Amino acid sequence: MTKLLILIVVVLGILAVAQLARVYELTSKLRGKREEDISDADNRMNAMLMWLFPVAYFGFFLWLVIAYKDKMLPLAASTQGVETDALLDFNWWILIITFIITNALLFFFAGRYVYSRDRRAHWYPHNNKWELAWTIAPAAVLAVIIIYGLNTWQNITSPASPDALQMELYAKQFDWTARYPGTDGMLGATDYRLINGENPLGIVTANAITKRLAEIEQEQAEARMQLSGVLPDAKRADLEHHMDYLGRIAARIVNLRMVMEEDIRVNGQASTYLHGADDVVTKDFMLPLRKEANILIRSRDIIHSAYIPHLRVQMNAVPGMTTSMKVTPTITTDSMRTHVMNDEKFDFILLCNKICGASHYNMQMPLIVTTALEYDAWIAEANKKPFEAPEVPVEPAAPAATDSSMNSGAGSQPVASLPSAGQ
Amino acid sequence: MGAHAHTAHAGHAAGHHEHHHHEESFISKWVFSQDHKMIGKQFLVTAIFMAWVAVIMSLIFRLQLAWPGEGFAFTNFFLGDKWAPGGVLDSNMYLALVTIHGTIMVFFVLTGGLSGTFANLLIPLQVGARDMASGFINMLSYWFFFLSSVVMLASLFVEGGPASAGWTVYPPLSALPKAIPGSGAGMTLWLVSMTLFIASSLMGGLNYVVTILNLRTKGMKMTRLPLTIWAIFLTAVLGVLSFPVLLSAALLLLLDRTMGTSFYLSDIHLAGEALENTGGSPILFQHLFWFLGHPEVYIVLLPALGITSEIIATNARKPIFGYRAMIGSILAIAFLSFIVWGHHMFITGMNPFLGSVFVATTLLIAIPSAVKVFNYITTLWRGNIIFTPGMLFSIGLVATFIAGGLTGIILADSALDIAIHDTYFVVAHFHIVMGMSAIFGMFAGIYHWFPKMYGRMMNTKLGYAHFWITFICSFGVFFPMHFIGLAGAPRRYYNYTEFPMFDGVVDLNIVVTIFAIVGALAQVIFTYNFFYSVYRGPKAVQNPWKSNTLEWTTPVEHIHGNWPGPIPVVHRWPYDYSKPGKPEDWVSQITPLDPDEEEH
């Protein structure tokens, strides 16, 4: 019924416009006027609108600035952000002045030089001086913009200092996980084939490899059992296909183990394969104040983007590679709440800013910036629940060891409670 | 139909008159026509239809953004219960609509529609040729475009919905149906459609280049070409050089999707399973895509700028200021457009040094762009301006080009791009500078050359209403988006209610949507005016705008071969408006120079 009504309204609307146009056409025909002859009245009306438009245009702009000034991102909460904001403000001055001058000239001339039968346009096909002037002027201004911009870019993207805090953000559809190096201060190696329920980030340890291989073996055994029974052909083909797949994945993991063992033999304690066990995998994203953090970013499935608007930092999470961004927070979450935003519920938010599927619009994780003291307390607590309990030997001696570590199940559970996250 | 059709060549200039009355069958005149004028009109009507599809899509997702989670009969009417149960838009469908809206607008409306229409209509008419170099390939170009449109529309109806990975279709999202349902059959059809589109664009582009270089009439030196032709010429060169790269990107993606290759895929664990692909890089796709993608922006924009140059000069009754500087700036823009693609990828993990190179090259484009704007403004200065609807849209283009161009300076600055990349600020920027400017150029061209296309006039009063409503609404829609973006709101979000931090600006979404609805209704006025005038508009005279260019020396009634007699010879540049010492305020290009007259 509503559909019908809408349809009727639309049709009637079109008919009304059509009739108006008809009437206009007939009257102008009666007056002997041709369609291409633009009457003086029409020219004057448009010229007037050309003058009125910028008033409305600039007015709208002004209204938006005044009404929404306080709803833009608040002051940047990182040293990098403070620098980009200064650059942005500098650019705004140049752009807004150019915007107003060029638009004012455009609409002023458009309205001012409206057609008159008694006048001829000024013959002025070119003037090299002017053309040179408005090639050089923008070039000079742009040179400043480019140099200032690149200088800032250099500061923001230069490699993080060696003593920066290392941590990792891991993206998947549709959530984030954080990983902190354990007491050894180094993040362990990862491999996506090791990912399972208790190893969501695919951290490589000898133990994780053993468990994953055992898991695959069990899956193969189940599949074999099914295959020995009666099955429809299609299902059988699928299962056989899956068996082959499991075999290849297992072979890759065995290969990974050889690479790992070789690396450990060559590099000893420096090998990244020895640093995964004490990593902290957590849903809490914490950064200490005024400490440079080098955030490594990885993705499990597709491209995501780690975007923290209040800190003015962003970097894509790309499957198959590790990207990074450095950030030095300058305001704690508490200070933001009490001093900047006057909002007890305020949080810095890490959000996904690259289209990634149905729940892209809700892929977020709060970031808590604390004082160094609070951070140290938190990380000490978190370190008590590493990825793998420390008593597990590096070389898995017996399957029994595997079982016991399974039961200890550190894996994916959230770790520790936050000093200031609770509201 | 191909064999007997007489492809007109500049060669049989004289004597053509005798046989242009060949009775053409319905099919060869209206369907598989090889006449460039008919092909241009075919492109235009197809583009108008596609534009409506894209506009309706945008209205559906604008409703969702303004009033998230509310049901609308409008939404349900178009999407049915599967994608909009109770009129509430499904979140996967939201992404699909955003994707197809972008794809259709960029490729089918502003590339196929804009270039296809005006390159076909204007090249032979303005350079003085009987037809395109190859009428047959030109016809194929349209029918590939048509087929491509059909495939794209068909993809809307497949199980799982159409492609949903954004119009840039970045893999792995676009490669893995398990990541998003639209990456199933919908994505395959998207790739097939784009392959057909690229074939169409290449056939058209080669034809345009060859025709402009080889079939200019006597006296039509390159420095006497109207700026429309210069713009279309470089557009075609850009297309011919960059579209093949998109084709290769699409083919590799197709291989990754169907043959198990790993060009773009590596180390992916999806839906509980580790994929076996290793060694590929999703970033490779982005490089290939944007190697087309950025020139594409100018493929869209340059014809619009060319059209505007022509219309502003004609209706200001004044030569375009700095003709040679305008050509120079088109050349500079075209060249630079090939070395700036990395500015779409500042935050992909690309080496920061490479990023800084792209910053410099990108910002350089602002120089020729500024030259163009200043030249437009100077052309208006002390002009004698007649406000035809075409002129209004041309002035509108200059305004949108200024507003959108300036924010480009911010986005090109890599340090600033970090914080606003992929936010609504970007949406505002490219819709104004590329979407609005190009569509204004297209409208300007339609109003201006409608008498040439259909031999009738469009209604001026309706044109005024169309322009002013559209002009106001386009700023009403896109200007507030800058502010939404500066609040940090990402694009392509189904709703913003999950983030309290955006509460302050979400009411702007309502403002935007209301302007969008009114703006869309204004297009009803245009569409009505267009189709009514095709059949019932007052008959046009030969040169309604008192314009200098060659197309207005052809008869109103279309004939195959364009000029009944020999092709006219050109004696001067196209911008002798209000030249001192001339009786009229215009001098056609075919008027010989006076013995003591200097050519501008």
Tens of pLDDT, residue by residue over B534-587, are: 999 999 999 999 999 999 999 999 888 999 999 999 999 999 999 998 999 999
Residue A60 forms part of a structural domain: yes
Suggest the residue from A50, A126, A128, A343 to mutate for an interface test with chain B (most B CBs closer than 10 A): A126
Which residues touch A163 (CB under 8 Å, ≥6 apart)? Answer: none
Where does residue B578 fall: left (phi above 0), alpha (psi -120 to 50 degrees), or beta otherwise? Answer: left
Give the per-residue pLDDT at A19.
Answer: 81
Give the per-residue pLDDT at A247.
Answer: 95
Distance CA A308, CA B414 (A): 17
The closest CB to that of A61, out of B318, B479, B579, belongs to B479
DSSP state of B108: I
Q: Quick one: A192 and A275 in the same domain?
A: yes
Residue A401 has pLDDT above 90, yes or no: no
Which residues touch A18 (CB under 8 Å, ≥6 apart)? Answer: B528, B532
Residue A419 has pLDDT above 50, yes or no: no
Residue range(s) defining the domain that contains residue A252: 165-408
User: Using CB atoms and an 8 Å cut-off, which of residues 168-227 of chain B contact chain A?
Assistant: 170, 172-173, 176, 179-180
| B90 three-class SS | coil
Q: Quick one: A197 and A137 in the same domain?
A: no
Q: Quick one: A172 and A152 in the same domain?
A: no
Residue A415 forms part of a structural domain: no
Q: Choose among B294, B268, B83, B98: nearest CA to B173.
A: B268
For residue B319, list chain A residues with Cβ-Cβ distance below 8 A. 123-125
Instruction: Tell me if A300 sits within 8 A of A319, measured CB to CB.
Output: yes
Residue A422 has pLDDT above 50, yes or no: no
| pLDDT interval class at A108 (50, 70, 90) | very high
Instruction: Tell me if B242 sits within 8 A of B338, measured CB to CB.
Output: yes
Residue B561 has phi, psi (to 5 degrees) of 105, -5
Give the per-residue pLDDT at B358.
Answer: 95
Distance CA B363, CA B411 (A): 10
What's the alpha-carbon Rg for chain A, to the nearest Å? 33
- Cβ contact, residue pair A361, B493, below 8 Å: yes
The mean per-residue pLDDT over the stretch B394-410 comes to 96
DSSP state of A70: G
Give the per-residue pLDDT at B8.
Answer: 41
Distance CA B264, CA B284 (A): 7
Residue-wise pLDDT for A27-52, tens only, equals 777 777 787 888 999 999 999 999 99
Residue-wise pLDDT for B75-109, tens only, equals 999 999 999 999 999 999 999 999 999 999 999 99
On whether any CB of chain B is under 8 Å from the CB of A19, the answer is no
Distance CA B118, CA B49 (A): 17
On whether any CB of chain B is under 8 Å from the CB of A93, the answer is no
Residue B336 has pLDDT above 90, yes or no: yes
What's the whole-number average pLDDT of chain B?
92
DSSP state of B556: S
Q: How many CA atoms lie within 13 A of A80 on its CB side?
A: 28
Q: Which two tokens stand for residue B15?
A: 């004597």
Residue-wise pLDDT for A194-213, tens only, equals 999 899 999 999 999 999 99
Q: How many CA atoms lie within 13 A of A67 on its CB side?
A: 14
B212-245 CB burial, b ≥16 within 10 A, e <16: beebbbeebeeebbbbbbbbbbbbbbbbbebbeb
For residue A83, list chain B residues with Cβ-Cβ distance below 8 A. 415
Helices assigned H by DSSP within B337-388: 352-364, 366-380
Residue A296 has pLDDT above 80, yes or no: yes
What's the alpha-carbon Rg for chain B, to the nearest Å? 24
Residue A318 forms part of a structural domain: yes
- Cβ contact, residue pair B95, A357, below 8 Å: yes
Instruction: Tell me if B307 sits within 8 A of B396, measured CB to CB.
Output: no
What's the whole-number average pLDDT of chain A?
89
Where does residue A238 fall: left (phi above 0), alpha (psi -120 to 50 degrees), or beta otherwise? Answer: alpha
SS3 of B263-316: CCCCCCEECCEECCCCCCCHHHHHHHHHHHHHHHHHHHHHHHHHHHHHHHHHHH
On whether any CB of chain A is under 8 Å from the CB of B281, the answer is yes
On whether any CB of chain B is under 8 Å from the CB of A415, the answer is no
Which residues touch A236 (CB under 8 Å, ≥6 apart)? Answer: A227
- Cβ contact, residue pair B422, A307, below 8 Å: yes
On whether any CB of chain A is under 8 Å from the CB of B462, the answer is yes
Residue A125 forms part of a structural domain: no
Residue A20 forms part of a structural domain: no
Give the per-residue pLDDT at B598.
Answer: 85
On whether any CB of chain A is under 8 Å from the CB of B479, the answer is yes
Residue of A nearest to B496 (CA): A361
Please report the domains of chain B, with CATH numbers, ordered by start residue: 32-263+282-553 (1.20.210.10)
Distance CA B387, CA B395 (A): 10
Distance CA B426, CA A308 (A): 17
For residue A150, list chain B residues with Cβ-Cβ distance below 8 A. 356, 359-360, 414-415
- Between β-strands A304-308 and A293-299, what pairing exists: parallel, antiparallel or unpaired? unpaired
Q: Choose among A280, A24, A131, A156: nearest CA to B378.
A: A131
On whether any CB of chain B is under 8 Å from the CB of A200, the answer is no
Q: Quick one: A175 and A139 in the same domain?
A: no
- Cβ contact, residue pair B387, A38, below 8 Å: yes
The closest CB to that of B370, out of A81, A134, A323, belongs to A134
Q: Quick one: A236 and A357 in the same domain?
A: yes
Q: Quick one: A174 and A135 in the same domain?
A: no
Q: Choose among B347, B342, B339, B345: nearest CA to B364.
A: B339
Q: Quick one: A92 and A236 in the same domain?
A: no
The closest CB to that of A21, out of B320, B387, B459, belongs to B459
Q: Which two tokens stand for residue B120?
A: 């076909």
The closest CB to that of A121, out of B384, B407, B479, belongs to B384
Residue A399 has pLDDT above 70, yes or no: no
| A411 three-class SS | coil
Residue A120 forms part of a structural domain: no
Distance CA B444, CA B449 (A): 8
Complex ipTM:
0.93
DSSP state of B88: P
Give the per-residue pLDDT at A32.
Answer: 72
Q: Quick one: A331 and A215 in the same domain?
A: yes
**Interaxial angle between packed helices B460-486 and A40-68, expressed in degrees from 0 to 180 and rounded to the nearest 10:** 10
Q: Choose among B597, B379, B66: nearest CA to A106.
A: B379
Residue A406 has pLDDT above 80, yes or no: no
For residue B267, list chain A residues with Cβ-Cβ distance below 8 A. 192, 319-320
Instruction: Tell me if B204 sits within 8 A of B115, measured CB to CB.
Output: yes
For residue A19, list chain B residues with Cβ-Cβ distance below 8 A. none
* Cis-peptide into B162, omega within 30 deg: no
Q: Choose among B386, B456, B447: nearest CA to A37.
A: B386
Q: Quick one: A143 and A182 in the same domain?
A: no
| pLDDT interval class at A1 (50, 70, 90) | low
Tell me the sheet residues that pair with A166.
A294
- Cβ contact, residue pair B74, A6, below 8 Å: yes
Instruction: Tell me if A179 sits within 8 A of A168, measured CB to CB.
Output: yes
Q: Write out the DSSP string of B469-485.
A: HHHHHHHHHHHHHHHHH
| pLDDT interval class at B143 (50, 70, 90) | very high
Give the per-residue pLDDT at A391.
Answer: 59
Give the per-residue pLDDT at A199.
Answer: 93
Give the per-residue pLDDT at B596.
Answer: 86
Give the A:B interface size as CB pairs under 8 Å.
Answer: 385
Residue of B nearest to A157 (CA): B352
Q: Quick one: A214 and A169 in the same domain?
A: yes
**Interaxial angle between packed helices B366-380 and B282-316, expressed in degrees from 0 to 180 and rounded to the nearest 10:** 20
Q: How many CA atoms lie within 13 A of B166 on its CB side?
A: 21
Residue A218 forms part of a structural domain: yes
Distance from CA of A232 to the nearest CA of B (A): 24
- Cβ contact, residue pair A316, B349, below 8 Å: yes
Distance CA B198, CA B95 (A): 24
Give the per-residue pLDDT at A193.
Answer: 95
User: Using CB atoms and an 8 Å cut-off, which of residues 301-330 of chain B contact chain A?
Assistant: 316-325
Distance from CA of B189 to the nearest CA of A (A): 19
Give the per-residue pLDDT at B12.
Answer: 43
The closest CB to that of A153, out of B324, B415, B538, belongs to B415
Say if residue A409 is exposed, middle or buried (CB neighbours under 10 Å; 0-12, 13-18, 19+): exposed
Number of structural domains (chain A) is 2
Q: What is the greatest pairwise CA distance in chain A?
A: 104
On whether any CB of chain A is under 8 Å from the CB of B17, the answer is no
Residue A374 has phi, psi (to 5 degrees) of -65, -40
**Which CATH number belongs to the domain containing residue A172 in this structure?**
2.60.40.420
For residue A158, list chain B residues with Cβ-Cβ distance below 8 A. 352
Q: Which amino acid is at B416?
A: L
Residue-wise pLDDT for B215-237, tens only, equals 999 999 999 999 999 999 999 99
- Cβ contact, residue pair A305, B377, below 8 Å: no
Q: Choose among B228, B341, B336, B330: nearest CA to B283.
A: B341
Q: Which amino acid is at A41?
A: A
Distance CA A367, CA A346 (A): 11
Q: Quick one: A149 and A193 in the same domain?
A: no
B295-317 CB burial, b ≥16 within 10 A, e <16: bbbbbbbbbbbbbbbbbbbbbbb
For residue A117, list chain B residues with Cβ-Cβ distance below 8 A. none
Which residues touch A372 (CB under 8 Å, ≥6 apart)? Answer: A288, A289, A290, A291
Give the per-residue pLDDT at A121.
Answer: 94
The closest CB to that of A119, out of B384, B475, B498, belongs to B384
Distance CA B234, CA A344 (A): 57
For residue B276, list chain A residues with Cβ-Cβ distance below 8 A. 245, 248-249
Residue A344 forms part of a structural domain: yes
Q: Quick one: A257 and A353 in the same domain?
A: yes
Q: Write out the DSSP string of B518-553.
A: HHHHHHHHHHHHHHHHHHHSPBP-S-TT---SGGGG
Q: Which residue has the higher pLDDT, A400 or B541?
A: B541
For residue B451, list chain A residues with Cβ-Cβ distance below 8 A. 36
